[in-house]
Structures are given as C-alpha cells and as structure tokens.
Structure 1
Amino acid sequence: MNFQGFDEHKYNDRSLLAFLGQQESQNIAWGDAYTTELLDYFRDGQVLTGAKLPWSKTHDLIRFRPGEVTVHSGMNGHRKSMVCGQIMEWFALWGEPCGIMSFEMPIRDTQKRMCQQAAGSYHPGPGFIRDWSQWNHQNLAYFDKLDTVPSGRVLGAVYFMAEAMGCKHILIDSLTKCGLPYGERGAEKEFIDALCATAKAFQIHIHLICHVRKPEKRGEEYVPGKFDVRGAGELTDLVHNVIIHWADKKKLALQQLRKANKPLSPQDMDYIEKRPDQRFVVAKQRNGEFEGVIGLAFGEGLQFNEGRQLPFEIPRSGGQAA
C-alpha cells in the first residue's frame, strides 16, 4: 500500500488498522523465536554468503547476496562500467546467469570488451571469440536499447530477465539513462525503492551504476566517497552496498612516460611499483563488516586481476585465447 497520500482520518479507522495488522501478523513475533539464530550468530559470527568477486582476496571481505541492490559509482573515465562487466561474466562463469542493461554502449562493444577480459588478451583468436559467444547462451543476457529508457520499461526488463531468463544478477548502466526527471529527488527515491522491492521479490541482486558529482576544485586524484554519489540523498541510504571505482590516473601517466623512455624520479618509480592500478572501494556494506580499499591490477586485455591473469574456463572447440 502506498502511504504517500497519508490520510490521518483514514488511518484512525480501527477496523482498517485491524485489517492491515492482520496482514502483517505473520511478520511479527516475540523475540525468543529467534533464540537459535542468535546463539548461532554468537558462536559462528557473521558468515559471508553470496556471489564472489573474481579476485580471491575479496572473498572474505564482501559478497553479493540475493535480494540486495548495490550502487557502483565513480568519476567519468574511471572504468566503473569496465569493472562491472568483468564482474558480471565471472558471476556467470561460476553459475549465476547475469543480465546486462547498458544504455550507453552497443552490445557489440560491450561484448568485445568482456571477451577481451575473459581471454586476458586485446586480440583473442577467432576460436576463442566463437566459444565465448556461444557460452553467452543461458549465461549472459543483454537488453538491446541505447539512450534514455523510461523507468517503467527498465523495471519490466529487470522482471523479464529475472523471471523468464533466470538471471541472478542484473547490471543497469546507468541511473541517468533510466528516464527519471532531472533533479526530481522523489522520482529517484521511488525508482530505487522499486529496485529494492524487485530484488527482494525475485531474489536477485541488482547492480546500479551511478555517476558522482563533479568535485569542486579537485582533480582526478580525488577519491570520491558515498556522499559524492549524484542523485537523491536517500539513494545510498536505501541500497545495501556502495562501491566506488577509482583509477590511478597519476600512475597511468607515469607509466606512459616510462614507456616513452622519459626520465622519472626515484619517487615516481616507487609510486609505479607500489600503487595499485585500480581501487575497488567498499564505501558501504550493510550486511558485512568490511569497508575499505581493495587494490587491483589492470592487466592485458582490459582484465582486472591481482597481478597475474585470471583463467576463464569455458567449453572449448579447439580455438586458442590469443
């Protein structure tokens, strides 16, 4: 029931309140009903469940469970869509089909990048490309629509991907393309509420890419936080997790200078050797204890890894990755 148009006289009606109370009675119990669960929690602590990220060092830090919504955010050019694409195909590789709704990039371009990441090569061979494309069947679904899409159609596509196609994770890229009136905080809040309700109803995990506000008097070196996410203030309050994606542009510039045989100071060389290429910042995790920075390497074929190429084992017809 929608309480936005709250009518105090209507809700002073005891018979109506009794009816509403009866509808919710199955969700209400005395606290002793949870004794076993409480004892288990004290004994075992919080047990992480849910889908694992591609990187083993994250498996005890954060997971992505059914019924939740995660916001992925970051500045333009900081690879948030690229990271999320790799995450989706690894979820699918490990048995959880994913739906991808990219309103800013044609499916062909999205698939090209993800195929490169899977191969760990900028130039995968024709055999690998064919095998990877065939593997997409019943693993990766795509919504073929560019530019702004009305929010109702977005929710309809989420429903179809979850209910008809069995997708367990759905990536929406991005909130700004979901047909919401610019600056309408109420509309954004309602849409996020709808995503949270949909994730819970269908026991899926929805990943929503959002932009950040342009930092005032700050450049690429600034690492945004959850309060920098563009949109209604309630946006990050309503979702379960907030991830900030940040690429070290200073390191990239230094690497390019080194590649061009330009002289670098010892401090610059030390910066290159010790700093991660990419930061995966867990800015909020409602059902987990960890919040902090996870460093990633940016390797061959646009693949994010922990310093060595990640394998992507799919049925092969004999073609090589590169």
Structure 2
Amino acid sequence: MQLIRDTIDFNAYQTEPESHKVRSAVEFLEETISAFYPAPNATLPPRPLWDKANGKIAFRRGEVSLWAGINGHGKSMMLSQVALDLMIQGEKLLILSFEMKPARQMQRMSRQAYAGDVPPKEFLTVFHKWSDEKLWIYDHNGAIKWQQVMAVMRYAEQHFGITQFVVDSLMKCVKGDDDYNAQKDFVNELCAFAQARQVHVHLVHHVRKGESEDKAPNKFDIKGAGAITDQVDNAFIVWRNKKAERAKSNDPTAILKCDKQRNGEWEGSLGFWFHLESMQYLERLDGVPMRYSLR
C-alpha cells in the first residue's frame, strides 16, 4: 500500500486535456469482430471472484459503477472484498475514502485477506508488502471538492498507472443532498474520465430512507439527481437482510443486486452470507472464508 498525500499540488490536473475524437466508423472493424469472436487467449475484464458472479458481472474499462445502499448495510465492506479480488487479478487500485482513515482501511482488508479476525504480525507484513505497487490510498478524510477528487485521479492514473478507482462517497464530494447540478457534473466528469483514460471507477452512494430497512431498495431509491443513475454504466445495490439475521434463518444475510449493466447482458440479484470474523461475503450458508494467496 502506498499513500498519496494531500499536500501534493494537484492544480495541473484539474482539467482533462482535449483530444481529437472524431473517427471513421471503419476504424472500429477489428474491435467489432473481437466483440463477436473473442480470441481464445483474449484477456477478460476483471470481475468479482465469487463463482456465482462469473459471467454475470465484470468491471470493464471505460465504465463507472455505482455502489448504493442504506447506511450501514455493507456497501463499502463488500467493495473492499471486491478490491482484493481486483488486486489478485493484477489491477492497480486507488481508494479515495473520505469516511475511513488509511490504517482502518488496511485493517479491514487485512482481515478479509487473512480470512480471520486477528491476522498474525507476519501475515500483516506480507500483506502490506504484497499490496505495494497494487494499492494506493489517498490520505484525506472529510469533505472535499469534487474538482480536487478529479485532479487526484488524473494524477494517480498518470503517475502510477491506476486502472481501478474507488470513490467513497459521492456525498463527501458534493455539498448538500439537493445540489443536483453539482452531483450531475461530478458523475459526468467521472464518466468522461473513465472513458478517456480507459479505467474503471467505483462510486459509493446512499439511497433515500424508506419506510423500513427490511425492504430491499432499487435504483429508483438512489439519493439525489436522477442523472446519477442515468449516467453511470452499472448500478449495484447492496442490502443487508436484517430480518434473516434476527430470525437466524438460512436465508442470505446480504444481497448484491445489479439493477443496471449497460454493456453486460445480466441483471438480477445474488445472495451472500456475511462472515463477521473474516468480514467476507460467502456464497453459501456453509461456506468457508478464503485466505487470499499473496504471490
């Protein structure tokens, strides 16, 4: 893990450089052929490593994924596990969490990677060394202007070759729940950045308060401007099934719902069981946490 300090002068990265984008349609022939007839050795886009997500969810270049849910329902926790999956697949990540300090973020990821609540010091040393050149964290907590967020992301992509960005959360970057224009402008810039740099951006956001936490939200419950959901490529809802927790039933205690996938063919829900000691989301009730192979 490497820190990007808040003291760096990011002024030079405030705007995206213009480039000529008008191209003849025939230039896309090879890409079109590859879409229909992928080569046997073609590199597939990175994905979550759950078996049940294979062939359903992928984090393609040039896209933005929205991760929404009720406060305290585990969207950041689940995304932390996904971040480990991406690192295992060779992706370079930058986490911009304005609600969690870097040491706390690494504590959580260490537990998930170890598959247990108290990793030994030796494992912590190995994990942190393994994360070097794979994981960067922007060292800033609290509110921040979204223009500064964009500058940091441009800086990180240019200097470190970051391929996956996690922004947690939208409301820390835009003042006021009702500033719909700023929300729209920020998400628009994220989409433009992802497309221009051919990276993937994960944006964490909240949903409106409903009548009960026992009812799973959908994309129409996402807070703020409707343009947020309209502009992003993928919309995921993370919902904690507190009713199943209270009843101690065999039902999944967490649901990952894909409510939008612009360039994918699957939308639907996947059930998981949250394992507290490892902070992992397991695919089966009798599942066993997976210790990540740090090679």
Q: Name the TM tier (shorter chain).
A: 0.7 to 0.9
Partner of 2:281: 304
Give the superposition deviation at 1:49. Answer: 4.0
SS, match of residue 155 in structure 2? helix
SS, match of residue 278 in structure 2? helix
Q: Do the aligned partners of 1:181 and 1:187 also contact (CA within 8 Å) in 2? A: no
Partner of 1:276: 252
Q: Do structure 1's residue 243 and structure 2's residue 236 form an aligned pair?
A: yes
Cα separation, partners in 2 of 1:39 and 1:210, compared to 1, 3 Å = closer
SS, match of residue 234 in structure 1? helix
The answer for unaligned runs of 5 or more in structure 1 is 1-22, 256-271, 316-322
Q: Do the aligned partners of 1:245 and 1:279 also contact (CA within 8 Å) in 2? A: yes
Letter of the 1:113 counterpart: R
Partner of 1:73: 68
Partner of 1:294: 270
Separation in structure 2 between the aligned mates of residue 61 and residue 29 of structure 1, nearest angstrom: 29
TM-score after normalising by structure 2: 0.85
Count of residues in correspondence between the two structures:
269
Give the superposition deviation at 1:308. Answer: 2.3
Partner of 1:110: 105
Give the counterpart of 1:285 among 256, 261, 268.
Answer: 261
SS, match of residue 159 in structure 1? helix
Q: Do the aligned partners of 1:68 and 1:206 also contact (CA within 8 Å) in 2? A: yes
Give the superposition deviation at 1:250. Answer: 1.2
Q: Do structure 1's residue 191 and structure 2's residue 186 form an aligned pair?
A: yes
Separation in structure 2 between the aligned mates of residue 286 and residue 103 of structure 1, nearest angstrom: 28
CA RMSD of aligned residues (A): 2.2
Partner of 2:150: 155
Cα separation, partners in 2 of 1:135 and 1:233, compared to 1, 3 Å = same
Q: Do the aligned partners of 2:278 and 2:289 also contact (CA within 8 Å) in 1? A: no
Separation in structure 1 between the aligned mates of residue 162 and residue 244 of structure 2, nearest angstrom: 37
The answer for unaligned runs of 5 or more in structure 2 is 1-19
SS, match of residue 270 in structure 2? strand
Letter of the 1:227 counterpart: F
Q: Calculate percent identity across the aligned residue pairs.
A: 32
Q: Do structure 1's residue 202 and structure 2's residue 182 form an aligned pair?
A: no
Q: Do the aligned partners of 2:74 and 2:240 also contact (CA within 8 Å) in 1? A: yes
Separation in structure 1 between the aligned mates of residue 142 and residue 246 of structure 2, nearest angstrom: 32
Give the counterpart of 2:122 among 115, 124, 127.
Answer: 127
TM-score after normalising by structure 1: 0.78
Computing the radius of gyration from Cα coordinates, the structure with the larger value is: 1
Q: Do the aligned partners of 2:174 and 2:182 also contact (CA within 8 Å) in 1? A: no
Give the superposition deviation at 1:179. Answer: 3.4
